[in-house]
Amino acid sequence: MGSDGLQAAATAPVGDAASDEILTLPPLDESAPGIPISGSTGQPRRGKVMVVGMGFLYASAISALASLAKAWWDTIHVATWPHSIRLYDLANVPPGSWQSVLLVVAMGLIGAAMVTVPAIAGFNAWNGYRWSRIVGIVAVPVSGLAWFMNPVAWIALPLAVIGATILWTRPVTRYYGHWEQFRGGEPRRPVEYTQVVYGPLSRFR
């Protein structure tokens, strides 16, 4: 083959245009009809109402965290310890005693619960888990423990109430439904058989 033939073979098209097309799966919004999919995350688009409710729950957790930080700061100083939080006023025990140590532990547990529970509700609402509503309800009485803390924590309760209420609204219910459809429903557990007979059955013996 001459040089002209080699050049012609090198420049010849390989296959036609139709065969060069790459086959791909349909977009996610086509394979999951009815679900608004975010182009940046590939997940159901976060509802605005849900985000507002999550914001109130996070605000409740942040106010509790600020209250706990102030309580710790006042607790480490003997002069301000007796009136750091209302729990200390009610107990009326001298600082440095073993009762005061138990009160400090109780303060830490109360503050940790007030921060953690609404934060868990908000985080799982963001990820579309319907049971975050129950956690939101639990966050209300837990935030009510602010009565034993300082005034900084008192705003945590109304914030938790508003956030937990929003999670039960119709737009958030629809948002949870999108996530359940996106995940394909609840996983089915295999049936466990406890009585398995091996060998010939008794009626065939």
Of 45-54, 89-98, 100-109, give the lowest mean pLDDT range.
89-98
pLDDT surpassing 60 at residue 131: yes
- Average of pLDDT values for 142-170? 95
34 contacts: CB under 8 Å, gap ≥ 6: 178, 181
Contacts 24+ apart (CB under 8 A), 75-83: 75/104, 75/107
Domain boundaries, the chain: 50-182
Residue of 200 and 158 predicted with greater confidence: 158
The confidence score (pLDDT) of residue 29 equals 43
**Residue 16: what are its φ and ψ, rounded to 5°?**
-100, 175
d(CA 197, CA 129): 41
pLDDT of residue 14: 52
Mean pLDDT of 168-173: 94
Which stretch of 29-38, 147-156, 167-176 has the lowest confidence by average pLDDT? 29-38
Across the chain, mean pLDDT equals 83
pLDDT value at residue 81: 84
How would residue 36 be classed by pLDDT, with cut points 50, 70 and 90? confident
Alpha-carbon separation of residue 169 from 32, 79, 130 (angstroms): 24, 48, 12
Residues 73, 111 contacting (CB under 8 angstroms): no
Contact indicator for 175, 50 with CB cutoff of 8 Å: yes
